Amino acid sequence: MINCTPSRLRDRGLLLSLLAFCTDVRGAVAAAACAFGLVACQSTPETTSAFPDSAYRATAEGDWDDIDAAVEIGGGQAEWVISHWWFESPFVRQYRLRDSLGTEARLRIVRTDDSGPLQITATVGPLGDAAAEKRLVDRVARRLGQLHGVGAAEVR
C-alpha cells in the first residue's frame, strides 16, 4: 500500500496522478475503486513512512532516558512543540511537532546500541526546510549533550 499521509506530501505527484485518473474515468465502479484506494492510502500508519533522503541527520552523545526532555526543551528553543510521540521500536522514538504557523515537523531518534551515540533525523513541512531541520536537530543534540551523564541541567 502507498503511504500518502499529509506528512508524506513528497509523494504528492503520485496522489495527484491518481486523483486525475479518478476524475477522468467514467462510471460508478471506477469511482468507487478510486475512493477506496484513496481511503486506504490515507489510513497507512505513519510509522512505516521513511524519512526522505534530503532530511537533516546528525549524531549526538546522550542518554536514551533523556530524549523526551531534550526534544521538549531543544524543540522549544527552535520554536517547535511536540504534538505526538511514539516508539516505532524499543530503539526508535519518533515525534511529530508543530510550529506557531501550523507547519509540521517529524523528528526521529535512533539508539544503535546501549552506549553509542544517538542518531537524530528531522524533516520539516511537506517539501523540507533544510535550515529549520538543522536548527531543530542541533538544538535537540545540544540539549542531549547538556543532560548527558547528569540528573538535571539548567535550561539556558
DSSP 15-70: HHHHHHHHHHS-SHHHHHHHHHHHHHHHTS-GGGPPPPTTSEEEEE---GGGHHHH
Residue found under cell 535512533: 110
- Could you tell me which residue, 38 or 128, shows the higher pLDDT? 128
Task: Say if residue 120's pLDDT is above 90.
Answer: yes
- Could you tell me which residue, 87 or 20, shows the higher pLDDT? 87
Please count the other Cβ atoms lying within 10 Å of the Cβ belonging to residue 116.
Answer: 10
What pLDDT sits at residue 21? 52
For the chain, what percent of residues have pLDDT higher than 70? 66
Burial class (CB in 10 A: 0-12, 13-18, 19+), 50: exposed
What are the domain boundaries of the chain?
Answer: 6-47, 56-147
What pLDDT sits at residue 84? 96
What pLDDT sits at residue 49? 61
Superfamily holding 56-147: TT1751-like domain (3.30.310.70)
Please count the other Cβ atoms lying within 10 Å of the Cβ belonging to residue 132.
Answer: 20
95 — pLDDT class (breaks 50, 70, 90):
very high
Range 87-97 average pLDDT: 95
Task: Say if residue 101's pLDDT is above 90.
Answer: yes
